[in-house]
Amino acid sequence: MQLSELLKNTVIADGKAQIEIPSTWMQGRTTYGGLSAALAHHVARQSFPDIPPLRSAQIAFVGPIAGECDIVVEQVRRGKNTAFVTARVTYGDGVGMICTFIFMNPRDSSIVHHGLDVDAADMPPIPADEDVRHGPPEFFTYHLDYPDKRIDLNGNTTKLEAWHRLRDDGPLAPGRDVMTELLCIGDGLPPSAMGLMTKPGPVSSMNWQINMLTDKPVTRDGWWLLTSETHHAENGASSQYMTVRNADLEPVMTGMQSVALFV
């Protein structure tokens, strides 16, 4: 079931929704984190349709989410320009994810700084159709297009970078916006600490902080360039910076994750 179908079939009432997540969206023993975040954002936006565009989010991956789950959202503060909305995703008797979404209208500012500009010659090109692949049906990467392998062990690298797009040709669900799509695809890369692995082993994202750099992100043909780079790893945890760029290599979202390492 594609993202558009999931959103279309989600019934939301009084800030609550119950969703059956298909097994094709699993990532190990839990649902792919990007999808969980996207569903929570969709429920928040549908519950409070007059809120401004998404500006920032703090997402804690508390426990596993699979199959039938419940999402409850609450607007905890609404100012003249900003709204804070929390979302809690539960599965069975446990909490699977807790989000704080910050929605904010743009405002005039005398401060302008673009520190993420890159030279196109230094970045990988959008893959040709014949070079695109996707994962197996039992894994969430079945819903993504990307070039070649996403990671090789023994690479001795702290940086992962690859173009990704959603394999979703369905109509947009009511209330779906590009922010929901970005949340879904923005966590598509494996944790970059895996580039330092010398043997396979489990990893698990613990939290995800994101900042939107524009309130109207756009791209071409659905492609987004994902970059993740580990800047510290020790004592069973790593910290990584993340960036999402559009087809013109303009940065549209930044992020940071703490990742648990079990190897």
Residue-by-residue pLDDT tens, the chain, 263 positions:
899 889 988 999 999 999 999 999 999 889 999 999 999 999 999 999 999 999 999 999 999 999 999 999 999 999 999 999 999 999 988 999 999 999 999 999 999 999 999 999 999 999 999 999 999 998 999 999 999 876 666 678 999 999 999 998 655 444 458 899 999 999 999 999 999 988 888 999 999 999 999 999 999 999 999 999 999 999 999 999 999 999 999 999 999 999 999 98
Q: What pLDDT, on the 0 to 100 scale, is given for residue 171?
A: 53
Q: Kind and range of the H or E element at 186? A: helix 178-186
pLDDT of residue 173: 46
Per-residue model confidence (pLDDT) at position 246: 96
pTM equals 0.94
- Residue 159 has a pLDDT of 93
β-bridge pairing 30-31 and 82-91? unpaired
The pLDDT value given to residue 176: 56
